[in-house]
Amino acid sequence: MTFLRAGFPFAIAAAIFLSSPNIGAAKPPGCTGAEYRSFDYAVGTWLGRNTSGEVRGKAEVTQVLDGCSIRMHWTGRTYEGTNNNSYDATRHLWQKAWFDNTGGIELSEGHIVNKALVYRGVDYDHDKIAGMHRESWIPLPDGRMLEKYEVSSDRGATWTIAFETFYTRVDRATYLRTVILQNQ
C-alpha cells in the first residue's frame, strides 16, 4: 500500500504528460507561403522622417507568432503605438490592428499592389462613420520605405494625403540610442 501511495503522484504526472497534445507532436506548419512573406521588407529597425527630412519617430518591426504576424512598434513625437499585420489566408487579404497610447484604435484590410501593402479602413466618431483612411507601405528602390497615409470624407471617391513618412533602415544600436523629443 505504501508503494502505491508513493507512486501515485508519479502516475498522475505521467498521465498528464502523456495526454498533453503538445508533447511529442510535430510543430504546426505555421505561415510559410509566399503571401505571408510579402510584407517582410518592413522587418527591421527604422527612423521615420517627414517630407522635410525631420526625424518624427522610430519604428521597430519584427516577425512574431512563428512568422504569422508582423508587429510594428512606433515611438513618435506625440504618441506611441503598435500594430499587428497578418495575412488572412481564408479571405486572401492582410489585416492590421493599430492601438496607441491615446486610446486610438484603427482596423484596416489590405492587399499587395505593385509590391506595396495598401490598407483601407473606416474611421468612426461616436458610432458614426467619420471618414476612411488608406495607408500604403511602399518599398523604395534605395532601400527606404514610404508610409503614405491618405484620408477621405466622401467614402473613398477622393483622397487627401494626411502625411507621408519616409523610413530609413538603421542598425539596432542607432535605433536604441535615438531619442525622439516631444517638442522636436
- In tens, the pLDDT along 125-140 reads 778 888 899 999 999 9
pLDDT of 151 = 96
pLDDT of 78 = 83
**Calpha distance 151→148 (Å, rounded):** 10
Residue 57 resides in a domain = yes
Beta-carbon neighbour count of residue 113 at 10 Å?
Answer: 10
Domain span at residue 58 reads: 34-177
pLDDT of 14 = 47
**Calpha distance 141→102 (Å, rounded):** 34
pLDDT of 123 = 85
Number of domains in the chain: 1
**What three-state secondary structure class fits 176?**
helix
Residue 47 resides in a domain = yes
pLDDT of 163 = 95
Long-range contacts of 64-73 (CB under 8 A, 24+ apart): 65/31, 66/28, 66/30, 66/31, 67/30, 67/31, 67/32, 67/36, 67/37, 68/30, 68/31, 68/36, 70/39, 70/40, 70/42, 70/43, 72/42
For residue 111, what are the β-bridge partners? 118
pLDDT of 8 = 46
Residue 12 resides in a domain = no
Of 55, 43, 27, 38, the residue nearest 166 (C-alpha): 55
Identify the segments of the chain with pLDDT beneath 50: 1-5, 8-18, 184
Residue 157 resides in a domain = yes
pLDDT of 26 = 57
pLDDT of 143 = 96
pTM here is 0.80
Residue 24 resides in a domain = no
Q: Give the three cell numbers for residue 19.
A: 495526454
pLDDT of 183 = 53
pLDDT of 28 = 59
pLDDT of 23 = 53
Cβ 121 vs Cβ 106: under 8 Å: yes
pLDDT of 161 = 97
**Calpha distance 145→137 (Å, rounded):** 7
Residue 76 resides in a domain = yes
**Calpha distance 133→63 (Å, rounded):** 25
Residue 131 resides in a domain = yes
Residue 10 resides in a domain = no
CATH number of 168's domain: 2.40.128.20
